[in-house]
């Protein structure tokens, strides 16, 4: 499984296939959802500061259900009048128990949702951490995503995140302690952006070559972007997988990893950094997505001190290190 890196041809909403032969294989197993699906204003209450279900939600009650989201490809989900496309992968028994952990999964520049989905589609029934997987498609902005204006209340990816969480909670129930986000390259940047603007509701983040545009050390994109400062009281832990000096695709993502390690520690976050020391898009070959899923399992909302401070799980590669927050 190799996510496509920067610089390949971008997809459109009607062509949900892998972008080239070097990327992960496409997965056509999901059934297409109802093309008339739209978001609904009659939703479960949401905490406006976090984007996750409000603290007073009664998770003992079965979710009311919905007819807007389906397993597989979802088209025409309206967010602020714009149709969004994404895949949803559901674990077994999703109708029989609730609430569920949620994992958002954002593709890299030039890749497709169909391709990126293959990282997590076969993991939703993970024995110790079954979850609902959501893999969005982009809307063709610069570097695919609405990544540069995080202060905009109408930012497309932030609004999609908020609206999908509401709808997922209606359909199957969202576990507010386990809302996680992962991504590759600029899709990793989307996850980091959500950490900055929705960090109070995000349990933990895992990225292949992500980037914080709020970090002044990351000169580009910092000089191009308008992100808030990282001030969330929830000091979530991040796992950053990167390729060091080999991780260069238009921009120096390996250097961003070291910059962000220092930045996150300075802002009170533990940080797990794993340098596979290979090219930009080869991270999953050396550290599979199941490791990210286990990381999410081990880092629920409110994890201030990572359990990995005393050592990694036995299956961790030897190129990972734990970087504790500054005291």
**157-201 tens-digit pLDDT:** 999 999 999 999 999 999 999 999 999 999 999 999 999 999 999
Confidence of residue 12 (pLDDT cuts 50, 70, 90): very low
Residue 176: φ, ψ to 5°: -65, -15
* Pairing status of strand 251-252 against strand 248-249: antiparallel
The residues that bridge with 182 in the sheet, in sequence order, are 105, 206
Is 95's pLDDT higher than 80? yes
d(CA 257, CA 104) in angstroms, rounded, equals 21
- Give the SS3 label for residue 57: coil
Question: Domains plus CATH for the chain?
Answer: 72-323 (3.40.50.1820)
d(CA 46, CA 239) in angstroms, rounded, equals 27
Q: Which of left, alpha, beta for 58 (phi over 0: left; psi -120 to 50: alpha)?
A: beta
Confidence of residue 250 (pLDDT cuts 50, 70, 90): confident
218-245 confidence digits (pLDDT tens): 999 999 999 999 999 999 999 999 999 9
Which residue from 204, 203, 202, 224 is spatially nearest to 213, judged by alpha carbons?
A: 224
d(CA 93, CA 125) in angstroms, rounded, equals 10
Question: Rounded to the nearest 10 degrees, what angle do helices 186-197 and 156-171 cross at?
Answer: 80
């Amino acid at each position: 499984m190799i996510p496509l890196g920067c610089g390949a041809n971008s997809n459109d909403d009607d062509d949900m296939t892998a972008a080239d032969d070097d990327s992960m294989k496409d997965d056509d197993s999901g059934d297409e959802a109802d093309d008339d699906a739209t978001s609904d204003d009659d939703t479960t209450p949401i905490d406006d500061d976090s984007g996750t279900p409000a603290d007073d939600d009664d998770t003992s009650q079965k979710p009311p259900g919905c007819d807007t989201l389906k397993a597989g490809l979802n088209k025409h989900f309206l967010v602020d009048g714009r149709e969004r496309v994404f895949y949803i992968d559901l674990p077994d028994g999703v109708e029989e128990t609730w609430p569920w952990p949620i994992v958002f999964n954002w593709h890299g520049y030039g890749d497709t949702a169909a391709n990126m989905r293959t990282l997590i589609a076969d993991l939703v029934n993970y024995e110790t951490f079954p979850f609902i997987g959501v893999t969005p498609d982009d809307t063709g902005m610069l570097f695919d995503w609405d990544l540069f204006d995080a202060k905009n209340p109408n930012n497309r990816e932030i609004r999609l995140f908020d609206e999908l969480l509401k709808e997922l909670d209606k359909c199957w129930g969202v576990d507010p302690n386990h809302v996680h986000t992962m991504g590759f390259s600029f899709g990793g940047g989307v996850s980091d952006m959500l950490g900055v603007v929705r960090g109070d509701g995000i349990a933990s983040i895992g990225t292949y070559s992500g980037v914080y545009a709020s970090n002044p050390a990351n000169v580009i994109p910092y000089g191009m972007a308008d992100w808030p400062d990282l001030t969330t009281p929830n000091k979530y832990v991040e796992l950053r997988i990167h390729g060091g000096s080999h991780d260069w695709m238009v921009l120096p993502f390996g250097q961003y990893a070291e910059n962000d390690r220092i930045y996150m520690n300075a802002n009170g976050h533990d940080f797990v950094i794993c340098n596979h020391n290979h090219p930009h898009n080869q991270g999953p070959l050396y550290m599979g997505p199941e490791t990210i899923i286990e990381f999410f399992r081990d880092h629920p909302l409110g994890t201030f001190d990572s359990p990995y401070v005393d050592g990694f799980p036995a299956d961790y590669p030897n190129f990972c290190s734990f970087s504790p927050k500054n005291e």
